[in-house]
Chains A and B, each alone.
Chain A
Amino acid sequence: MKIPISLQINGEMYQVQVPVQKTLLAVLREDLALTGTKNGCDSGECGACTVLMDGRPVNSCLILAVDAVGKQITTIEGIGGIAELDPIQEALVAHGAIQCGYCTPGLVMTAKALLDSNPHPTETEVREGIAGNLCRCTGYVKVVEAIMDVSRH
């Protein structure tokens, strides 16, 4: 059974028909072609699917699309395109903090929320802040350096 809902994503309203059990992640990727948000586990364990809901990072694989109605959703597509990256994204590029890039969109969203609420975190706060975003490529070294760097500016 599909029901019609409206979702506010990156400042735009989208009308979609979704089964009640469909996750926000699946709707973003399958119905709206917003594929920057990745699926690494579909069960809340990796953070690859992180989006912001009213400014707070959430695992979109754990949220039903119907529960996102009335919230402001921000996905990676909503912060900076290739031509005008967010300072966090510029820092990740400059520090060589991206390898396969599969964890990167989720990480950008978490880092964004972290710095929005705490513009000058300590390294420990950064590490704790991104602990839900698993990365298998970087050992987090350059990721943490990049976030610390951008927080200093």
Chain B
Amino acid sequence: MSKKAVIFGATSLIAEHTARLLAAEGWELVLVGRNRQALQAVASNLRLMGCAPVHELLGDAADMSALPQLVDSAHQLLGRFDLALIAWGSFYPNPDARQIQEMERINHTAATALAELLGEALAQQRGGTLAVLSSVAGDVLRPANFFYGSTKAALDADLRKLRLKLAPRGVRVLTIKPGRVETPMTAFAPRSFLTATPAATAAGIRRALQGRRDVVYVPGWLRAAFFVLRLLPKWLVSRLRF
């Protein structure tokens, strides 16, 4: 029987490339996104790449009251989740108050609320993986992405809590921390040789899904890099330009 995954924020380029790998392996997918046309293109492509059904669900991270209903619909379509992936995210480089609020809501509040709902669904079926796209930005708060980083740091903390709660019930909670990836989200910033492609990041995520870690860095060397960055004194970090 084919494996099944639900993906929230399926129009995210990182999520889409991850879904391509899953579709090619024969996974059945439910894609949740807010932009109908974009979602359709993503889904049509996945249908041709794979052989199992690909379903579309229209839903917006910003509308938190609709989340339980979305999780229910996805569950009805698939019957069971081997994987639930939360990929949506919002980034503003020099945010005003409203933008800070939006990042907080999308990256943290809504993501955590959804993670709890999905975690419960997985626990009830006694197993499965809940994977959430966080970011290295939460590890060390640098001036370049201070506010974004703090929303991801809060998300990381919530996921740790959730992991403790769900581990005894057989659910794996996987926190994924990519570095800079070339997607619409980062199109405002210059690319460098360190910028990863969505395809390479997806390959890293696919490997991580098979592994056993709770927190993965993509690419893997970022773990060591951020370990060192965390040891730096605050005054030095506050001068970092990246």
Partners in one complex: no
